[in-house]
Amino acid sequence: MQIIKVIDHFRILSLSSQKFILMPFLETPIEGLLVFEPQVWEDDRGYFFESYNQQYFAQNGIHTVFVQDNEAKSTVGVLRGLHYQTSTAAQAKLVRVTEGEVFDVAVDLRPGSTTYGQWHGVFLSAQNKRQYFVPRGFAHGYLVISPTAVFCYKCDNFYDKNAEGGLCFDDAAIGVEWPKIEGKYLLSEKDKVWPKFGQHKI
C-alpha cells in the first residue's frame, strides 16, 4: 500500500452566505479533515473573532455536538500522540493553539477509506489562528515547535480508557515528517510504546 503525505495543502470548500465571512472552510486532500481560518477584526484595542459558531458548521455539513473542552500547555519538543479511541467511544476534535505553535497531524484509520493510512499535517499557531477539524476515525497528535504552546480542543465524546488506542509516532509505514528541532522529542512513557500501523487496536 502506498502511503501518501499531505502537508498544508488546502482548497476552499465553502463559505458562509452571510454578509461577512466569519469562517472559511478549507478542504484538505483527506476527506473529512478540514481547516478553518476565522476572519479576524483588529484595531488599536486588539482583535476579535468567532472561534466557533455552530450555525456555520451545520451550514457546511458538520453537525458534531461537542461535549468537552480540554487545554494542555507544553514546552518545545513535546510530542503528544498519535491517539484515538475505538468503536462508539471514537472522538471528533476541533483543535487550535492560543499560545505558541505546533505541528498537528491526523492519520486516517477509517476502514474502507480511500485514504486509509494516509496522514495530513498543518501548522497551528496563536498567530495564524487556524483550527483543525479531525473527524472520528483518525489518530491525532502534535509536536510543539515554539518555546511553549497552549493547545485547546473540543471533543464530541468523553475519554474512555478501555477504548484508548495509539500509533507509533515515527512508524515508517505512515511516514509522518515531523519538523526537526534541537534535541530529542519529549514523549510520555505511554506514547513511546504504541504499536506500528497494521498492528494497532481496531
DSSP the chain: ----EEES--EEEE---SSS----EEE-SSTT-EEE----EEETTEEE--S--HHHHHHTT------EEEEEEEETTBEEEEEEE-GGG---EEEEEEESEEEEEEEE--TT-TTTT-EEEEEEETTT--EEEE-TTEEEEEEE-SSEEEEEEEESS---GGGEEE--TT-TTT---PPP-SS--B--TTTTSPPPTTSS--
- Rounded Cα distance, 187 and 176, in Å: 16
Task: Please pick, among 84, 132, 142, 153, the residue that the annotation labels catalytic.
Answer: 153
Residue among 56, 83, 84, 132 flagged as catalytic:
83
Asked if 75 and 148 count as a contact pair (C-beta separation under 8 A), the reply is yes
pLDDT for residue 12: 39
What is the mean pLDDT, run by run of 10 residues, along the chain of 202 residues? 41 40 77 90 90 86 94 98 97 98 98 97 96 97 98 97 97 97 96 96 90
C-alpha count within 13 angstroms, C-beta hemisphere, residue 3:
17
Catalytic-residue membership of 132 = no
pLDDT at 145: 98
Q: What is the pLDDT of residue 3?
A: 37
Q: What is the pTM of this model?
A: 0.87
Are 82 and 107 in contact by the 8 Å Cβ rule? The answer is yes
Q: Could you say which of 2.60.120.10, 3.40.50.11540, 3.30.230.70, 3.40.50.1220 is the CATH number of the domain covering 65-166? A: 2.60.120.10
User: What pLDDT shows up at residue 23?
Assistant: 55
d(CA 26, CA 24) in angstroms, rounded, equals: 6
For the chain, domain boundaries: 65-166
d(CA 129, CA 52): 12
pLDDT given for residue 38 in this prediction: 83
Note the pLDDT of residue 59: 85
Has 63 been annotated as catalytic?
no
